[in-house]
Chain A
């Protein structure tokens, strides 16, 4: 059990700046994010897209913004728990117990949810029957490629993941590659290689097809039906199905924590950005209040105020004193600018 002053859920721009604010006022914090990297939507959805409305930064990309925020955290030692999703939040004697899906647990008076539109999860097949084969014969990520050896694997998708795995697995498995249109959006060299291998017969390529039906016993898949745009159906024997359709954002377990939700957002006050649960705050795109703007700059403001609210619960016997980084010896020490 890790004891900390605050747990931040979400390592996007708002979560990062909130961590900065907490450390600056002398609190410690730990950050949890379900992605394998820091940056949230900025890094996952639009790393190359320019943003024009960050104050004092006329133009920067999502990736540049993320890197600058990480730079700004350099004076502080902040522990990130990536690839982990917070599953459970439980009240215990005025503190919160927080558990992730990897078994990490925290004990903290403050939880700041900076979760954007939710956590990124693989996008799945729309066919309901796919659920019963999930993690047995149908996968959305590969953990152990040896299970596919000498088996038939049907891969769906048109991006780099689908192409890379089709090429890789075709060395030891029979591979069907199925995509809804003729064009693939992967790197050109990969697309060319795939077409070459398809021509030579080591990958069976089906374009303008989508998954129509899955058939098999209770434990394993036996075959699938795929449907062409012209409604023609093809029946393929297969042991495994892999779907690579990118990531989708889902609110996930946050919905179960007793918070006052409004569609996919969480209601907060505008003094502390606290939810209906004492010590749980929501900042950035995931929070809502009258006049809410879904801008990165709003997230920064919300995080700064939530951090001050955390101080009261983390240091009940101390008084928070407002200070400027230009003049405060305390703050400059924390920033490593003064001995």
Chain B
């Protein structure tokens, strides 16, 4: 289990133990963290699992695949710390990863 911290747009924080191998998106959905819609179910096709990664974590994450940046063009208010949480697989290295959720997904 790896600790992932989700911070809602209003500031409410959820510290969740997520099983390694799941994605940050799945960790949120399976634990009813509000603010991540994941309409397409994780196929990198909809940009509704958009999160802002805390700056200190951003460069520690595996790099984006080609399609992710394209999809982020579609996200609601993306910035340079934006990622799609369905593309972030939870591993021991991510223990303590903190992501902020946008005010809405669409």
Contacts and interface: CB of A to CB of B under 8 A. Distances in A.
Chain B contact residues: helix, strand, loop or mixed: loop
Interface stretch (B8-16, B41-49, B53-61): B41-49
A159 B67 CA distance: 12
Interface of A: 41, 45-46, 49, 117, 123, 126, 157-159, 179-181, 183, 185, 210, 229, 245-246, 248-250, 264, 294
Given A126-B77, A248-B48, A183 B69 contact: yes
Contacts of A294: 41
A185 B66 CA distance: 10
B78 interface: yes
Contacts of A126: 76-77
B69 to A, nearest CB: 7
Contacts of B40: 41, 45-46, 117
A41 B40 CA distance: 8
Given A45-B45, A45-B46, A294-B41, A250 B106 contact: yes
Contacts, number: 50
B39 interface: yes
Contacts of A49: 43, 45
Interface in B5-58: 37, 39-41, 43, 45-46, 48
Chain A contact residues: helix, strand, loop or mixed: loop
B73 interface: yes
A245 B73 contact: yes
B43 A158 contact: no
B75 to A, nearest CB: 9
Given A45-B43, A229-B80, A248 B106 contact: yes
A6 B23 CA distance: 40
B43 to A, nearest CB: 6
A123 B106 contact: yes
Contacts of A157: 73
